[in-house]
Amino acid sequence: MSWLNKLLGQKLGDVSRQGLPLSDLDRWLGEKSRDNQMEEDILKIYSQLVISATELNNDVAKLRSASPAESSPPRLLKASLAARDAFCQQMLLLSEKLRPPSDGRIDLAVDYHHRVVNHLSRTSLKFGRAQKYAAFIFPEEVKKINSDLAKLNLVLVDLEKVLEEKQNKLKRLQGLKEALSRFEEDLRKIAILKKEIAEDQAALAVLGDSRKRIAEEIEGFSSCEDGRKREGLKEALDSYRLELKQIEAEAAGLISPLSKALARMIKQDSIDRVTLQNRRVLELLSRSPQEFLNLEISSALQELEENIDLLGIKDKKKEKIVNHLSYLIDAKPLEALRLRHKMLQEKIAGMENRLREGSLETDRLEDELRDIGAQIDRRGGKLHLSGDVLAVLEERAAQEEDDLKTRFSELANIPLVID
């Protein structure tokens, strides 16, 4: 504790030049808050109050034992003696209240001062009349007591000044302690945040290395023989898929001239004017080449041809429809498209299966690459947010540091060293 003894002494020596380390500030504040000098100052005033109370008691005793002048008027004498007794009783009660605490703690002193001042104020209101009557017969004794009360009032004023000074000092010490607590809490948060940032940066570096390694593996798969075969398979598959769409478009074009007849045929069946055996196929013909190309449609076309006269279509239009139906039934262009469509579907399914089996490892790596990318985004976002929070905390801590140094210098007249 040699540093503290020097700091609290009259001559600060090297401590005055070097300042106080931040790590010792909390102990310093504790010692200053328990400053013995503060209690000694209060106890000194208590001793003065004891003296004043003793003098007051002595003078009250003199008043109580004083003999009135023989020439005193009887009525005045009677009133004055009664007033003297009341006045002396009030003074004795006040003397009891003046007994100070044995401890010089400031909280006890504040409470004591408040009680004494309030009692003295109430007493002065009560003994005013009695004091006046007693002074008629015992002027010197009452004058002496009034002098004692005046001295007592001065001592209480001195106590009030000391308490105000001590309270202000404690308030400043408490303010400095709270500022220290905020500063240390922000330093703790900064340390934790810096650690988290370092961990996130290290994790990002590891994730970046993993992403680079997996990307190189995927590139290696693409550049090897199997990879080149898969790329060729993908190109062929794209070509077959395009051909499949062309077949479906061609089939839709062949069915398009029949759209009006198909719609009326389905409507006639709905109102029970005809009973269709191939309604489902006819509905598919009217709306979806992708579906009707997977079915046998000859029976449906023949049923449409057999019932064409029931549809109420004008002769010229009906002739075109009949001719087109004959072409579709006899030449079977849709059947050829259906067979080609089925063959392509089977080929595409086989190629997709081969491509899927051959791409399992690549798919796994690509999934892993996407997952790593998502982790990098999350870590990067967190790191960015942490950086913003750290900047705010560091700026606030810098302001708190300046505030601490200023407050400490005002209290101790030496610099505070932030270690």
The per-residue pLDDT string of the chain (419 residues; one tens digit each, 9 = 90 and over) reads: 333 333 333 333 334 456 788 888 888 887 777 666 777 888 888 888 888 888 888 888 887 777 776 666 777 777 777 777 787 888 888 888 888 888 778 778 888 888 888 888 777 766 666 777 677 677 788 788 888 888 888 888 888 888 888 888 888 888 888 888 898 999 999 999 999 999 999 999 999 998 898 888 777 665 555 666 777 778 888 888 899 889 888 888 887 787 777 777 777 766 666 666 777 777 777 777 667 777 777 777 777 777 777 776 777 787 887 888 878 788 888 888 888 888 888 888 888 887 776 666 677 778 888 999 999 999 999 999 999 999 999 999 999 989 888 888 888 877 888 77
pLDDT at 289: 64
Domain spans, the chain = 32-187, 224-358
Distances (CA, A) of 244 to 56, 289, 351: 122, 11, 14
Nearest to 186 by CA among 20, 389, 24: 389
pLDDT at residue number 269: 66
Paired strand residues for 416: 20
What type of residue is 73? P
Write the CB contacts of 354 (distance below 8 Å, at least 6 apart in sequence): 233
Selected from 1.20.120, 1.20.144, 1.10.3470, 1.25.40, the CATH number assigned to the domain covering 32-187 reads 1.20.120
pLDDT for the residue 193? 94
Residue 395: per-residue pLDDT = 94
Q: Which residues contact 275 (CB under 8 A, 6 or more apart)?
A: 269
- Residue 6: predicted pLDDT: 37
- Other CB atoms within 10 A of residue 354 CB: 14
